Structure 1
Amino acid sequence: MSRSSDTTRGVGLVALAALLWSSSGLFIKLLPLGALQICCVRSLIAALTIAAVVKRRGGSPFPRPDALSLACAASYAGVLVFFVAATKLTTAANAIFLQFSAPIYLVFLEPRVTGRAVQRRDLTAVALCLGAMTLFFVGRLGAGTLLGNLLGVATGLCLALFSLSLKVQRERRPGADPIAAIILGNLLVAALTAPFALPGLHPTLPQTAILLYLGVFQIGLGFLLFNAGMRHLTATAAVVTGTLEAVLNPLWVFLGLGERPSAWALAGGLVILGTIGWYSLGSRALNRRTSLL
């Protein structure tokens, strides 16, 4: 298979993963369950689904964890819990766009790990994204919406920490499978939320069907597709393709529930996505020029 075909296949797989991930906002809004209840059941189902696929392929779904894999799992668990809570409290658009603010934190966190100096374009990207994030807080905010937006910011920070710890893991152990961290992270969510989520949890048949979809397909199959696509793509291409999730998530919620994000939030989201695209593609072009010197 040619390199071009590999790239096309990778983009297609990551795009399918982003499509599945983007459906979370609608179904989280539809479920009349608490955020911790959704997190607990969804993550348990997702962990079992991914582990079963890994086991069927002859892999080890539960390798012995070390400090680095625990850091990956813990930060990923934070993404799962904070995002569901944010989606329950604020608009789906605010929750997903603020999650995609992760590159802001990476600009400052990554140099501390890799030793790379902060560049002017890094600071430009941060300034643009920070300015865009302030737009989510423009206008009248109820206590719930404000907390939801702050949880969205926390989701972005956890996503940055997860991406960074995953990168370090790949550099130190090139043969390590990131899927193991996904399984462990989901199990961690299920274990920590179970004492608060399971008492009084009696989902109806339609609610059970939604929870099964979220666990098996939205997270489980979504990450299996993403992991397969990453084998054919650069990190930059995967990030840019993955922004499809941020575009589709509020669209499904609008079509399904009629929830309209504010004009300020839409403007902030467009600036964040545009900045990610500019920064990611610009970094790729810069690396190409550097490699030719």
Structure 2
Amino acid sequence: MVFLLAVSLLWALSFGLIPRVSPLGAPFVAAARSLLALALFLPFVRIRGLARRDGFALALVGALQFGLMYVFYTASFRWLLPSEVALFTIFTPILVALADDALSLRMSWSVLGVAALAVAGTAICLGARVRQEGVLLGFLLVMASNACFALGQVGYRRLARRLGRPDRQLMGLLFTGAALVTLAMAVPGIDLPRIRQASASQILVLAYLGLVASGLGFFLFNTGARKVDVGTLAVFNNAKVPLAILASGLVFGERVEWIRLAMGGGVIAFALALNATIRGR
């Protein structure tokens, strides 16, 4: 759980940076993040003794969890405000619960209930309003991103536990799959003049998003995912939202509805406690 809490804090401070680089094009940003993360973990890859089918499976998981997820997520900022993107990502816990049930060929109503509580708590924290027009495509893009991320993390959790290898040896293979997907989508429509005009601050943001938010962040997240039960994993998919709101108030001095944040955070904490009680029976 410590790993998931650490990455939630990391992502809470990173959320507002994506709109700064989205003018460079969603496919390019996704490819840049994947390539930088791949460069970070490639030296740690160990394929000796790894079955070819497992290597392909890891690359496929990475293509889904990081590659397609990035493309859909970054593209949504063209159609949505950051607050709307944040609001629509809150459904990921339910998708995590459903993905795990689908792979297990069973239905766990307790996990689904805990996930629904996490969604409700996050919705209370945000209290965001959605515009009446022009958001449908953005909503569908975010939901596609949520589905890719949910399926990827559940798939990695199962695969990594079976392989029994350190996460640092596997992450490079995941980012290889992500890089192949994002490059295939970025190259045909890449806007070189726009990219050449990228400012120094945009380059620094890309470097941070690729090496820290993506590389270190997903390493911590996937390491934590294999150490906890699926209910805890589902809830922590939304932990970054109240933490991001808390950071905006304490660090950046923005206006925060503290009562709403406390109520929503309390519901999320209750979801974690309830899940621990159910698992302890």
TM-score by length of 2: 0.72
Deviation at 1:233, TM superposition (A): 5.2
Task: Work out the CA distance in 1 between the residues paired with 2:114 and 2:105.
Answer: 20
RMSD: 4.1
Task: Work out the CA distance in 1 between the residues paired with 2:138 and 2:247.
Answer: 19
Cα separation, partners in 2 of 1:245 and 1:118, compared to 1, 3 Å: closer
Cα separation, partners in 2 of 1:276 and 1:103, compared to 1, 3 Å: farther
Note the residue ranges of structure 2 that are not aligned, 5 or more in a row.
Answer: none
Cα separation, partners in 2 of 1:139 and 1:70, compared to 1, 3 Å: closer
Task: Work out the CA distance in 2 between the residues paired with 1:234 and 1:82.
Answer: 27
Task: Work out the CA distance in 1 between the residues paired with 2:57 and 2:78.
Answer: 31
Deviation at 1:231, TM superposition (A): 7.0
| DSSP 3-state at the match of 1:74 | helix
Moved more, 19-28 or 35-44: 19-28
| DSSP 3-state at the match of 1:89 | coil
Deviation at 1:95, TM superposition (A): 1.9
1:69 correspondence with 2:58: yes
1:154 correspondence with 2:144: yes
| DSSP 3-state at the match of 2:192 | coil
Match of 1:116 among 101, 106, 109: 106
> Superposition pairs for residues 6-85 of structure 1, below 5 Å?
11=2, 13-31=3-21, 32-52=23-43, 54=44, 59-60=46-47, 64=52, 66=54, 68-76=57-65, 77-85=67-75
> Superposition pairs for residues 47-196 of structure 1, below 5 Å?
47-52=38-43, 54=44, 59-60=46-47, 64=52, 66=54, 68-76=57-65, 77-119=67-109, 122=112, 126=116, 129=119, 140-143=131-134, 145-175=135-165, 177=167, 178-195=170-187, 196=189
Cα separation, partners in 2 of 1:218 and 1:81, compared to 1, 3 Å: same
**Residues 37-91 of structure 1: per-residue CA shift (max 9 Å, x gap):** 2112122112111223x25xxx459x64545324412321222222212234323
Deviation at 1:34, TM superposition (A): 1.9
| DSSP 3-state at the match of 1:101 | helix
- Aligned partner of 1:245 in structure 2 is 240
- Aligned partner of 2:190 in structure 1 is 197
Equivalent residues of 1:16, 1:225 under 8 A apart: yes
**Residues 155-214 of structure 1: per-residue CA shift (max 9 Å, x gap):** 221122112212331354343745245323431343223312353321232221221111
Equivalent residues of 1:44, 1:190 under 8 A apart: no
% of aligned pairs identical? 24
Matched residue type, 1:89: W
Task: Work out the CA distance in 1 between the residues paired with 2:80 and 2:138.
Answer: 5
Equivalenced residues, count: 266
Task: Work out the CA distance in 2 between the residues paired with 1:247 and 1:120.
Answer: 23
Cα separation, partners in 2 of 1:18 and 1:127, compared to 1, 3 Å: closer
Equivalent residues of 2:35, 2:179 under 8 A apart: yes
